[in-house]
Amino acid sequence: MFQRSLAVLGAVAGVCGLATACGSRSQSGHQASGSGGGATVVKIGLDAPLTGGLQALGLGMQYSAQLAVDLANKQQAVPGVTFQLVAKDDQASASIGEQNAAAYVADPAVAGVVGPLNSAVAQSMQSVFNQANLVDVSSASTNPSLTQGPNWKTAKTRAYPSFFRDITTDAVQGPFAADYVFKTLGIHTVATVDDGQTYGVGLVETFSAEFKKLGGQIALAQTATANTTDYSSVISAIKSSGAKLVYYGGEYPAGAPLSKELKAAGLNIPEMGGDGNEDPTYIKTAGPASNGDFATVPGAPLAALPSAKDFIAQYQAAHFPAPYAIYGGTSYDAAESIILSVKAALAQDGGKVPAGDAFRSQVEKAEQAVSFDGATGPVAFDQYGDIGSKVITMYKIENGAWDQGVYSGAFAG
């Protein structure tokens, strides 16, 4: 993957000066395998929930980014540089994420960060990264305001030039789901439940707006925090509403119990969620009740993409202790984009390494211009830092497993 060309790349000279410009202080973390061809260490951060209920997704992000780093070192993608992944566990907590962001900024060897997973965590980290011109490429955070500002519906504005993401937003995902429910499933009355968090609230909001625009009815709108353990009152309200489907905004640790209790109460209607629900853990938690449930995931099914063939084979050959999960491809591409941007930054001014914070600014500029064919397809960012692809895939649980995608396409509105 790292043999692809980038328009601004050229011969890299004098790279050993990076030890002064970016620092080379040792820090605990996984040292990338393979020869990097030099003693200069450039670090790439990885922030995600590596423990707790969402660790299945977070570990997939970590190991996929690790694969990109390992391959870059093996192929000597940047002569004279050894890349090192420094993974931090944010525990899906905004406050911990902010602390992690400060730690990354404080280490001058960190040239960029992959992650986080949660939109609320991403929100807490961005002012820290932005002040330091430290590139952050999220492979999982989908709330539109992160790139397009709080008034993204009426007046898009980029608040954080250092923030990028290679996954499409809920401004596409929510309407895609609404269109599928109304037109394909023929369901015109739904109930919505969100977890009160940035991602869940935003996803339900975009779904509901499109569903009502199509002529559908939101018979009930409820909030149940991720810590809810008894959904009886919510389910009672859903029963009374006459809803034929529950649209859930949140993640599988809470979404799966909701589905299980829904069916146990005798209400045999499907639950549909976003990418936060699509994981085997959802099925393990909800059990047979999950059959017939749906989830949308940004991007085409990875296993069906010719561009992902090498990534999947290399990931399997590496024998990582966890699957790459739904954000594996985007996390791999996010790490690769940072590596290419580091290479481009070092090529500026004939390979002369800028002093101090100037290097991070160079990487930020290079990230905006990056363009390559990744595992998930073409990777390039628009003026807001968003990827161009608007493809979403609808998944359904059948016979105790997520299918390979019942429908995949771009939402045109």
Confidence band, pLDDT 50/70/90 cuts, at residue 400: very high
Q: Which tokens belong to 261?
A: 């209790």
The 10s digit of each residue's pLDDT in 186-243 is: 999 999 999 999 999 999 999 999 999 999 999 999 999 878 888 999 999 999 999 9
For the segment 243-252, the average pLDDT, to the nearest whole number, is: 97
- Mean pLDDT is lowest, of 35-49, 192-206, 212-226, 396-410, for 35-49
Q: For residue 301, which amino acid is it?
A: P
For the segment 91-108, the average pLDDT, to the nearest whole number, is: 97
The side-by-side arrangement of strands in the sheet containing 163-165 is 81-89, 40-48, 110-114, 135-138, 163-165
Q: Which of the pair, 30 or 351, is modelled with greater confidence?
A: 351
15-168+302-381: CATH class: alpha beta
Confidence band, pLDDT 50/70/90 cuts, at residue 25: very low
Mean pLDDT of the chain: 89
Confidence band, pLDDT 50/70/90 cuts, at residue 147: very high
pLDDT score, position 280 = 95
pLDDT score, position 86 = 98
Classify strands 294-298 and 391-398 as parallel, antiparallel or unpaired: antiparallel
The 10s digit of each residue's pLDDT in 117-129 is: 999 999 999 999 9
Matching CATH topology for 15-168+302-381 and 171-298?
A: yes
Q: Can you name the CATH fold of 171-298?
A: Rossmann fold (3.40.50)
Confidence band, pLDDT 50/70/90 cuts, at residue 27: very low
Residue 9: is its pLDDT beyond 70? no
Q: For residue 270, which amino acid is it?
A: P
For the segment 10-24, the average pLDDT, to the nearest whole number, is: 37
Quick check: pTM over 0.85?
A: yes
Distance CA 340, CA 354 (A): 17
Distance CA 319, CA 80 (A): 28
Domain boundary assignment for the chain: 15-168+302-381, 171-298
Q: Percent of the chain, pLDDT > 70?
A: 88
Distance CA 367, CA 369 (A): 5
Q: What is the DSSP string of 117-168?
A: SSHHHHHHHHHHHHHTT-EEEESS---THHHH-TTTTTS---S-TTEEESS-
Q: Which of the pair, 413 or 97, is modelled with greater confidence?
A: 97
∠ CA 335-136-74 to the nearest 5 degrees?
A: 20
Exposure class string for 355-367: b at 16+ Cβ within 10 A, else e: eeeebbbbbbbbb
How many other C-beta atoms lie within 10 A of the C-beta of residue 380? 16
Classify strands 391-398 and 401-402 as parallel, antiparallel or unpaired: antiparallel
Could you tell me how many residues make up the chain?
Answer: 413
Beta bridge pairs of residue 272: 247, 294
Residue 17: is its pLDDT beyond 60? no
